[in-house]
């Protein structure tokens, strides 16, 4: 029940990534600023995930996860009531902040509840499988609701799930999970705006935001080195750098490609929202089915072989987009959908396992925050970069990035038995 409840948090976060993509054309008849309907959520989520993880480690994941569910539910209701584009974008940002509080906590709770390497990998496989189910449910469920009742009820779906998950979290998680030390206020004050400004710089093409992001990132590194209680200890940052790079690359390609394919199916092929949602199922079905299997394999062989295999298969699938044109039939897309689905199915559990391997239990929230920051920031950047191009550009950029990620995996992801951070912690 504990695992199921934590998976509900991940389900909501991922559902709201893809469910909105299908609803975008319908929103366009009522609202403007469609890109910020997507990015207002993902930018805020990426900016505050590290903070959410640190707050959970200090004040207890039970308290912070419940607060995240509450804020997420209230913001979802506000999205459903939105009467203008600024209102909807602001409510989506509220969803992102709520998700940033609850998401690192779900990963930290699972990490702490399953200390053994094999059992933790299996639990994370289930967690990743539920995440994939949410991605799959988003286009199908969203398409059905939009076709039947418009886009507003899409957001009301979250409210009953939030209520049930918040109640279950309060009953299942113990109160006494507060951590020692103090909150790194200076770290929070520099990390959140640095991450937000960096993503905004890419999305909006703002040089000023880019410069601000670099300056704030430098300030964050400076204050962390001088802090007695750093939010992100250097040992953890070094240990997880390679896995988090791959995580960012994974979501850059995955989330960005989902948007590109959804808009292609509806804008170029003129398919309806429900049909477009059904047509991307060949991507999500293997992703959901393979994630638990990959968890068992990761527990046995470690994350590195699964990461390399997933990246290679996905890169081949993305290269298939070079053969797809405006007049190509739907079957021409199947190798890409299946290749990306199988690749991410093998990759997702392994990359999360690699990111939390060897991290002391008291830092599980921060580790989860860093990994999810990388994933969500990568997804936001993928929407901005890949969404501005065509299918051929998407295929070239995505396959090249994942080939680079193979090299990073081989050189930077350690074997499971080599856990210097765990020994130091």
Q: Report how far residue 136's alpha carbon sits from residue 310's, in angstroms, rounded to the nearest whole number.
A: 19
Q: 86-100, 272-286, 379-393 — which one is most confidently predicted on average? A: 86-100
Decide: helix, strand or coil at residue 389: coil
**pLDDT reported for residue 420:** 39
**Is the CB of residue 94 less than 8 Å from the CB of residue 76?**
no
317, 340 Cβ separation under 8 angstroms:
yes
Q: Tokens at residue 357, please?
A: 């391997």
- Mean pLDDT across 399-424: 75
Helices (H) and strands (E) in the chain, counts: 17, 0
The residue ranking higher by pLDDT, 407 or 188, is 407
pLDDT digits (tens, 9 = 90+) for 324-363: 887 888 899 999 999 999 999 999 889 988 888 767 767 7
Distance CA 375, CA 352 (A): 10
Distance, CA of 295 to chain centre: 18
Query: What is the secondary structure of 47-108 as a DSSP string?
Result: HHHHHHHHHHHHH-HHHHHHHHHHHHHHHHHHHHT--SHHHHHHHHHHHHHHHHHHHHHHHH
pLDDT band at 105 (very low <50, low <70, confident <90, very high): confident
Encoding tokens for residue 261? 């394919």
Closest by Cα among 148, 147, 228 to 187: 228
Check if the beta carbon of residue 425 is closer than 8 Å to that of residue 360: yes
Q: To which residue do tokens 């309907």 refer?
A: 37
Specify the pTM.
0.79
The C-alpha atoms of residue 316 and residue 66 are separated, in whole angstroms, by 41
Tokens of 66: 């419940």
Cα 294 to Cα 80, 237, 270, 335, 345, distances in angstroms? 37, 25, 36, 21, 7
Range among 83-92, 230-239, 275-284, 313-322 rated most confident: 313-322
The C-alpha atoms of residue 124 and residue 121 are separated, in whole angstroms, by 5
* Cα dist from 157 to 40, 73, 163, 260, 329, whole Å: 19, 10, 11, 25, 33
- Rounded to the nearest integer, the mean pLDDT of the chain is 83
* Burial grade of 148 (CB within 10 A; 0-12, 13-18, 19 or more): exposed
Measured at the CA of 258, the angle between CA 111 and CA 20, to 5 degrees, comes to 85
String of DSSP letters for 320-378 = GGGG--TT--GGGGHHHHHHHHHHHHHHHHHHHHHHHTT--GGGHHHHHHHHHHHHHHH
User: 31 pLDDT exceeds 70?
Assistant: no
Instruction: Look up residue 248 and give its two tokens.
Output: 């960012």
Average pLDDT over residues 40-50: 83
Give the DSSP letter string of 163-208. Answer: HHHHHHHHHHS-S----SS---HHHHHHHHHHHHHHHHHHHHT-HH
Least confident piece of the model among 98-102, 156-160, 331-335? 156-160
Cα–Cα nearest to 6, from 99, 100, 107: 107
Q: Cα(130)–Cα(416) distance, rounded to whole angstroms?
A: 24
Tens digit of each residue's pLDDT (9 = 90 or more) over 251-303 = 899 988 988 888 888 888 888 777 877 888 888 888 878 888 888 898 888 89
Mean pLDDT for 103-132 is 81
Of 25-34, 124-133, 232-241, give the lowest mean pLDDT range.
25-34
* Residue range 2-183+229-424, CATH number: 1.20.1250.20
The vertex-417 CA angle with 415 and 418, nearest 5°, equals 70
Q: Which of 247, 218, 261 is nearest to 128 (CA)?
A: 247
d(CA 370, CA 103): 11
Q: How far is CA 48 from CA 13, 35, 68, in A?
A: 14, 20, 12
User: How many Cβ atoms sit within 10 Å of the Cβ of residue 282?
Assistant: 20
The encoded tokens of residue 423 equal 């020994």
Residues ≥6 apart with Cβ < 8 Å to 396: 322
Q: What integer pLDDT is reported at residue 422 of this predicted model?
A: 40
Span 2-25, average pLDDT: 76
Instruction: Tell me how many degrees the CA angle 375-290-278 measures, rounded to the nearest 5.
Output: 80
């Amino acid at each position: 029940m504990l695992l199921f409840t934590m998976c509900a948090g991940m389900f909501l976060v991922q559902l709201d990534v893809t469910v909105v993509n299908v609803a975008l054309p319908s929103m366009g008849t009522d609202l403007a600023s469609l890109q910020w309907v997507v990015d207002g959520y993902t930018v805020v989520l990426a900016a505050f995930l590290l903070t959410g993880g640190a707050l959970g480690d200090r004040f207890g994941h039970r308290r912070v996860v419940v607060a995240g569910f509450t804020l997420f539910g209230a913001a979802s209701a506000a999205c459903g009531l939105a009467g203008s584009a600024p209102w909807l974008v602001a409510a989506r940002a509220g969803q992102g902040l709520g998700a940033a509080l609850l998401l690192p906590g779900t990963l930290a709770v699972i990490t702490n509840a399953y200390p053994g390497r094999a059992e933790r990998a299996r639990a994370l496989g289930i967690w990743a499988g539920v995440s994939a189910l949410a991605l799959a449910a988003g286009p199908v469920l969203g398409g059905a609701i939009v076709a039947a009742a418009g886009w507003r009820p899409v957001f009301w779906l979250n409210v009953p799930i939030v209520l049930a998950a918040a109640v279950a979290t309060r009953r299942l998680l113990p109160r006494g999970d507060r951590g020692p030390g103090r909150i790194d206020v200076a770290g929070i004050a520099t990390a959140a705006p640095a991450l937000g400004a960096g993503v905004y710089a890419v999305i909006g093409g703002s040089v000023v935001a880019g410069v601000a992001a670099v300056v704030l990132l430098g300030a964050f590194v400076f204050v962390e080195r001088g802090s007695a209680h750093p939010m992100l200890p250097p040992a953890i940052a070094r240990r997880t750098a390679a896995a988090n790079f791959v995580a960012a690359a994974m979501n850059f390609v995955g989330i960005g490609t989902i948007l590109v394919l959804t808009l292609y199916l509806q804008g170029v092929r003129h398919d309806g929202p429900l049909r477009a949602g059904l047509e991307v199922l060949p991507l999500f079905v293997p992703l959901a089915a393979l994630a638990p299997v990959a968890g068992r394999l990761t527990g046995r062989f470690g994350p590195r072989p699964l990461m390399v295999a997933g990246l290679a298969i996905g890169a081949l699938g993305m290269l298939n987009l070079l053969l797809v044109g405006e007049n190509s039939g739907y079957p021409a897309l199947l190798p890409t959908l299946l290749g990306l689905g199988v690749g991410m199915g093998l990759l997702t559990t392994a990359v999360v396992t690699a990111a939390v391997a060897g991290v002391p239990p008291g830092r599980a929230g921060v580790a989860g925050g860093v990994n999810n920051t990388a994933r969500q920031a990568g997804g936001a950047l993928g929407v901005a970069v890949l969404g501005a191009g065509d299918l051929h550009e998407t295929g070239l950029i995505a396959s090249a990035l994942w080939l680079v990620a193979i090299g990073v995996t081989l050189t930077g992801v350690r074997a499971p038995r080599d856990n210097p951070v765990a020994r130091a912690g």
